[in-house]
Amino acid sequence: MMLAAFRLVYLLFLQALWAGEVAADPRCNCTSSWEQVRWEMSHIFRRDLDLGWLLNCLADYACEVPEEHHIAATLLTGDSMLCSEEILPQVTSSIPCPAGMLHYMLACCLQMWLKRRYRQSALYYEHGLGFLALTGGCLDGSKWPLWSGQVLKNWPRFLAAAFPPVPIVSEEKRADDVTYLAAGPRVDPSIRWWET
């Protein structure tokens, strides 16, 4: 009986110690402007939000976004969070908040998906995985809405959706005043690849 009580106290001690280390880890316990980023990401990556449905809804201009999802919809489609279609940040350990950058990269991935820029979307996801590695495991149990298993689970689902095994097609695209030819697989933009 005494041994069982000791084990329980020891396990509780380890759990409290681990929770303290997670909370104190600067890679996930980011301050100042990162608080605003975490607030924004908590709306996009809410556990009660079917993000696959929201992406489909936002791609369909006739869809009505419910009031409780307006902040997420505005962040993904509005001007408040602009993601570059050409330049991505460098994945480096000098970034003060890799957990925040991971979330921002995945939000940009979703934004590029909505713009039907699937290769750029893949680059953002890949950068997000780099920042996930830099979190050093502190993401799980932190105040950030995503956890590492969720990010890793959705990566192959994303790849299957963005690069389906279908014939390559070419299409003419326009950016600013330049017209160019792009080639790639025909992607179904309504496929629900993100699982919350």
**What confidence tens digit (pLDDT) does each residue in 12-42 have?**
333 443 444 444 687 888 888 899 999 999 9
Q: Is the pLDDT of residue 1 over 50?
A: no
Percent of residues, the chain, with pLDDT higher than 70: 88
Q: What is the pLDDT of residue 19?
A: 47
The angle at the Cα of 30, spanning 24 to 36, to the nearest 5 degrees, equals: 145
Q: What is the pLDDT of residue 111?
A: 93
Q: What is the pLDDT of residue 24?
A: 63
43 closest CA partner among 80, 79, 69: 69
In the chain the first and final C-alpha atoms are separated, in Å, by: 42
Residues 6+ positions from 65 with CB-CB distance below 8 Å = 54, 57, 58, 73
